[in-house]
Amino acid sequence: MYYWNDLAEIPAGIGPTVITIGNFDGVHLGHQHVLNRLVKAAREQDAAAVAISFDPHPAQVHRPESAPELIMGTVDRVQALADTGLDGLLMMHYDMDLASLTAEEFVRTVLVDALHAKTVVIGHDVRFGRGNAGDLETMRALGAELGFDVEAVDDFGALADGPASGRRCSSTWIREALREGDVRTAARLLGRTHRMRGEVVHGAARGRELGFPTANLAPEASGLIPADGIYAGWLVDEAGARWPAAVSVGSNPTFEGVSRQVEAHVIDRPAEDVHDFNLYGQHVVVEFVERLRGMVAYTGPEALVEQMCLDVERTRNVLSTETAAGR
pLDDT digits 0-9 by tens, 164-198: 566 888 999 999 999 999 999 999 999 999 999 99
Residues 75-84, mean pLDDT to the nearest whole number: 97
Answer yes or no: is pLDDT of 200 > 50: yes
- Helices (H) and strands (E) counted in the chain, each on its own, are 10, 12
pTM: 0.90
pLDDT of 143 strictly over 70: yes
Distance CA 263, CA 245 (A): 10
For residue 272, pLDDT beyond 60 = no
Task: Using the predicted structure, report yes or no on whether residue 324 has a pLDDT greater than 70.
Answer: no
Dist CA 314 CA 116 (whole Å): 54
Q: Using CA atoms, how far apart are residues 276 and 294, in angstroms rounded to an integer?
A: 32
- Pick the closest to residue 150 from 122, 113, 187 (CA basis): 122
Tell me how crowded residue 98 is: count the other CB atoms within 10 A of its CB: 16
Comparing 202 with 101, the larger pLDDT belongs to: 101
Alpha-carbon 217 to chain mean position: 17
Tell me, what's the pLDDT at 102? 98
* Amino acid 129: pLDDT: 96
Cα–Cα distance, 172 to 175 (Å, whole number) = 5
Contact between 72 and 26 under an 8 Å Cβ cutoff? The reply is yes
pLDDT for 276 beyond 80: no
**231 phi/psi in degrees, rounded to 5:** -125, 145
Query: pLDDT category, 300, cuts 50, 70, 90?
Result: confident
Q: Please state, in angstroms and as integers, the Cα–Cα distance from residue 84 to each residue in 88, 175, 213, following that order.
A: 11, 22, 37
pLDDT tens per residue, range 4-62: 999 999 998 898 999 999 999 999 999 999 999 999 999 999 999 999 999 999 999 99
For position 154, what pLDDT does the model report? Answer: 87
| Torsion sign, CA atoms 161, 162, 167, 169 | negative
DSSP state of 271: G
Average pLDDT score over residue span 230-246? 95
Neighbours of 120 (CB within 10 A): 27
When the pLDDT of each residue in the chain is averaged and rounded to a whole number, the result is: 90
- 178 touches 227 (CB < 8 A): yes
Percent of the chain with pLDDT over 70: 89
Inter-residue contact 205 to 98 (CB < 8 Å): no
- The per-residue pLDDT for 257 is 47
Residue 155 has a pLDDT of 78
How far apart are alpha carbons 197 and 237 in whole angstroms? 10
